[in-house]
Amino acid sequence: MKPAPPVSVVTGAAGFLGSHLTDLLLARGHRVIGIDNFITGSRANLSHLRRHRAFRLIKQDICRPIRIGGPVHYVWNLASPASPIDYLQIPIETLKVGAFGTYQTLELARRKRARFLTASTSEVYGDPLVHPQPETYWGNVNPIGPRGCYDESKRFAEALVMAYHRSHQLETRLVRIFNTYGPRMRLDDGRVVPAFVSQALTGKPITIFGTGKQTRSFCYVSDLIDGIYRLMMSEHHLPVNLGNPREMTMLQFARVILKATCARSRISFKPLPQDDPKQRRPDIRKARQLLRWQPKVSLEQGIAETIAYFRRRV
């Protein structure tokens, strides 16, 4: 008799990352139960799965108890606002999903004896004083600043996950995600890739905050999702950075977008927002060693795919 497929619960399934993870899990033979309350997620991201036999979508706020019948083998907690526009508009909801949402998903995993992964973020490092950022760095975070609602929700979530690991011997995984981009990001997301691409495609000025010398590194979504899957299937319970270590300034990145879109947009400079990190690059030595993972998609290839997606939506 053929063994039953593994069952995965994905919270934030209608979001940018959650929908891509759902696709990967289905392709690898999982039954997937997606959960989303659609505050920032979109049903359009899952429309291609409407008739998929192995996929079920539940509309629910994960800050409430999660009731699912039958076995669950994996819980992937990706639910959270993730762009500055979102978490600055809904700071309380952002804090609640990091705290109560993580608690409820951990409780689900505990009851089902499932393996659990939560999506943390490079924002736990704040405006870093160590560069690049290794998992051993504790960060430089302003807990009462405007970004604190997101940073601290993720830091609390990490602490809660480790408490469940130690107190309940729950199999847990922690991924710290650095800037990721690709199809299914929202045009009004507010993060730098959709902002620059949408501005270039519509002929608007490309907005750079500060001098443009602050740095970021960009990982294409398929690379990130592959890393997340590898981490869940590994035996490592401590945080692991996933991201692309190729670093560039915002001014350099704006020129990449202008060249790729053939746009003639001018560059406009605005004041740097409070607590905006001045540099950000992951140290991925642990991911390379433990997961045999590193990014494969070049920035040029990934940006081309992303621009093609956005061209159909502007």
CA distance 36 to 50: 15
**Residue 175: φ, ψ to 5°:** -115, 130
Helix (H, G, I), strand (E, B) or coil at 270: strand
Residue where the block lists tokens 């995965």? 8
DSSP string, 79-131: -S--SHHHHHHSHHHHHHIIIIIHHHHHHHHHHHT-EEEEEEEGGGGBS-SSS
Active-site hit among 74, 87, 150, 181:
150
Give the integer Cα–Cα distance in Å for 153 and 134.
Answer: 20
Cis peptide before 295 (omega within 30 of 0): no
Give the separation between CA 247 and CA 240, rounded to whole angstroms.
19
> Cβ neighbours of residue 244 under 8 Å, at least 6 residues apart?
178, 217, 218, 219, 220, 223, 282, 295, 299
Angle at 37 between CA 36 and CA 38, to 5 degrees: 90
Q: Annotated catalytic, 103?
A: no
Residue type, 75: V
Which sequence positions are flagged as catalytic? Answer: 150
